[in-house]
Structure 1
Amino acid sequence: MKQIKVLGTGCRNCEITAKIISQAAAEAGVEIELEKVTDIAAIMGYGVMSTPGVVVDGVVVHSGGVPGPDQARAWVREGADSAG
């Protein structure tokens, strides 16, 4: 199962980002574990200075704005086909 974290303080853009990722996973039929990280020290620990940030399986893949739906679909599908 893919682990995805949305890094941010709970602002509107962070909430939108979480929704986009959840929707992309549902559309793709991929099960994910989505976690919202709101602790500033934890966010900075990933080196993210501008939120929202997105971490997929421990790797920062995005920061500084709301990702597009195509980006989110790519994150949830990446490796899903071979994850049998």
Structure 2
Amino acid sequence: MKSIKVLGSGCRNCETTTKLIRIAAEQAGVEVELEKVTDLVQIMSYGVISTPGVVVDGKLVHVGGLPSPNQVRQWVSE
């Protein structure tokens, strides 16, 4: 099971990123543990200043703006 964290305050881009990840995981038939992190101290501990940030299995893979659908599919299928 993949562990994916969406780092952000809950803005529209953060919510959309979370939805994109859920949809991509469902379509790929991959089980993911999806966590939304809103605590600023935790977010900054990853070095993220611009949200949303995405962490997959402990590795920061995206910062700022909406990820492309291809990026999201790659995260859940790796």
What is the distance in 1 between the residues matched to 2:67 and 2:21? 9
Give the aligned CA root-mean-square deviation in angstroms.
0.4
- Unaligned 5+ segments in structure 2 are none
Query: Is it true that 1:64 corresponds to 2:64 in the alignment?
Result: yes
What is the distance in 2 between the residues matched to 1:58 and 1:28? 21
| TM-score of the aligned structures, taking structure 2 as reference length | 0.99
What is the distance in 1 between the residues matched to 2:20 and 2:7? 14
Aligned residue runs from structure 1 range 1-84, under 5 A: 1-78=1-78
Between the two proteins, the alignment pairs up a number of residues equal to 78
Percent identity of equivalent pairs: 69
Of the two, which has the highest radius of gyration? 1
What is the distance in 2 between the residues matched to 1:69 and 1:20? 7
